[in-house]
């Protein structure tokens, strides 16, 4: 067993979510190497308190002010520091007892924590893809070699395919995609799908926002932008490949025609663990794949006409600057409205497109500027939603 001082001291931001709880499971399985020292939650304070007790953490943060005084917080273990509000995330990552931050916050709300982590020189295990979609142009120049480890399964796969390779020898990155619950449906058929249908993902159990993004294929569009930043390639070098079984997690094709793929179980604990263990590999946290029992792997191209969000994200990735920030913010608003039952599934793309059309692109300059554009895009998307409701 490793001694206390050789353990990686981890802060888990968004510890109550799908990635957060799977991260905690990895930390439990590798308690001899990983020490959970700090946690954040937004609203689920009862779960936060239980986790703080289970892992004996030094510090917790409640980012949603409406839950910052929940009575259950009085049951935190004696000596556990309690921070409140959005700014608490940046405070946590700067703590002297934190070596590595696993950012599993959902949405653009995760950007500042990623920024603060890189600034503080800590390892960033990044699940929050929105950080790179919105602020990739700010974050990438801040990251030193191997400081930022992707948790998103496709990006972890690509990262692994590139170990020991030269970035300028990459011909293409084949970004795989399950196709989601509505694979094969036409644009007309998508008009009437329900929230329950959209939340039924065939291969992965995830939080509601990314599950809807996986149904619209916006998730894949966001992931192309994420890959552009992480691996320094243009969007045309990142074709999307529908791989229905989610067994190939992505592939890199080199100039000589060789293709290296990363495969494994559809279990997020593998890429989460790799982001924490890198450059080492530790014992698997989950079941292995028996390739003899797999049967076949099916692959095809996506349909950008039915899945308009894929085309909108491509437009944003191509235009760059502040456009991906607007894409992301409008999408967060539209997905929230769809989940609340106040717009249809296909309205998501309509709202995003109208908001993109209303935006004048500028270069990314600062966090403050991105926050202002994010706020503008949210308000514009709300207006677009109100118009849709009026015309319905």
List of residues contacting ligand NDP (CB under 6 A): 14-20, 41-44, 63, 104-106, 109, 127-130, 152, 204, 206-207, 209-210, 268
The candidate with the shortest Cα–Cα distance to 92, out of 51, 35, 38, 36, is 38
Nearer to Mg ion, 63 or 216 (CB): 216
In the complex, least distance from residue 53 CB atom to ligand NDP, rounded to whole angstroms:
16
What residues from 154 to 173 belong to the interface with Mg ion (CB under 5 A)? 154
Nearer to ligand NDP, 152 or 303 (CB): 152
The residue with its CB nearest to Mg ion is: 152
d(CA 152, CA 317): 18
In the complex, least distance from residue 391 CB atom to ligand NDP, rounded to whole angstroms:
30
Instruction: Write down the residue that tokens 């008009």 correspond to.
Output: 191
Task: Read off φ and ψ for residue 175, nearest 5 degrees.
Answer: -90, 115
Residue 43: name its binding partner from Mg ion, ligand NDP, none (Cβ under 5 to 8 Å by kind).
ligand NDP
In the complex, least distance from residue 126 CB atom to ligand NDP, rounded to whole angstroms:
9
d(CA 274, CA 98): 18
User: In the β-sheet with 34-41, what is the strand arrangement from edge to edge?
Assistant: 81-84, 59-62, 34-41, 8-13, 100-103, 123-126, 148-150
Nearer to Mg ion, 59 or 316 (CB): 316
d(CA 76, CA 38): 13
Nearer to ligand NDP, 206 or 354 (CB): 206
CB of 260 closer than 8 Å to CB of 161: yes
Name which position in 35, 112, 130, 152 contacts Mg ion (CB under 5 A).
152
In the complex, least distance from residue 227 CB atom to Mg ion, rounded to whole angstroms:
10
For position 130 contacting Mg ion by CB under 5 A, the verdict is no
Q: Is the dihedral of CA 355, 360, 365, 371 positive or negative?
A: negative
Q: Would you tell me which residues interact with Mg ion (CB under 5 A)?
A: 152-154
């Amino acid at each position: 067993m490793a001694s206390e001082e050789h353990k990686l001291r981890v802060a888990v931001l968004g510890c109550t979510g799908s990635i957060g709880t799977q991260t905690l499971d990895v930390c439990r399985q590798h308690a001899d190497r990983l020490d959970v020292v700090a946690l954040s939650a937004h609203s689920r304070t009862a779960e936060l308190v239980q986790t703080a007790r289970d892992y004996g953490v030094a510090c917790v943060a409640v980012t949603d002010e409406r839950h910052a005084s929940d009575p259950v917080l009085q049951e935190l273990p004696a000596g556990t520091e309690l921070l409140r509000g959005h700014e608490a995330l940046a405070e946590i990552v700067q703590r002297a007892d934190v070596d590595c931050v696993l950012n599993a916050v959902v949405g653009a709300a995760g950007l500042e924590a990623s920024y603060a982590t890189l600034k503080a020189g800590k390892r960033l295990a990044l699940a929050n893809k929105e950080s790179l979609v919105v602020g990739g142009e700010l974050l990438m120049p801040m990251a030193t070699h191997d400081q930022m480890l992707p948790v998103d399964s496709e990006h972890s796969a690509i990262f692994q395919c590139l170990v020991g390779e030269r970035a300028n020898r990459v011909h293409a990155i084949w970004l795989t995609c399950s196709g989601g619950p509505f694979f094969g449906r036409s644009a007309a058929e998508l008009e009437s799908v329900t929230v329950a249908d959209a939340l039924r993902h065939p291969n992965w159990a995830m939080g509601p926002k990314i599950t809807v993004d996986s149904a619209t294929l916006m998730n894949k569009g966001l992931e192309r932008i994420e890959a552009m930043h992480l691996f320094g390639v243009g969007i045309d070098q990142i074709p999307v490949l529908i791989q229905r079984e989610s067994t190939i997690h992505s592939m890199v094709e080199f100039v000589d025609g060789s293709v290296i793929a990363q495969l494994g179980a559809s279990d997020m604990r593998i890429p989460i663990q790799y982001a924490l263990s890198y450059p080492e590999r530790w014992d698997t946290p989950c079941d292995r794949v028996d390739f003899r029992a797999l049967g076949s792997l099916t692959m095809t191209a996506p349909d950008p006409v039915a899945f308009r969000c894929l085309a909108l994200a491509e437009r944003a990735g191509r235009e760059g600057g502040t456009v991906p920030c607007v894409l992301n913010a409008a999408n967060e608003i539209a997905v929230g409205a769809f989940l609340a039952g106040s717009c249809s599934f296909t309205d998501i793309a309509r709202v995003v497109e109208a908001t993109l059309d209303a935006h004048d692109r500028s270069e990314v300059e600062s966090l403050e500027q991105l926050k202002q554009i994010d706020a503008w895009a949210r308000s514009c998307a709300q207006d677009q939603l109100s118009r849709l409701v009026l015309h319905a």
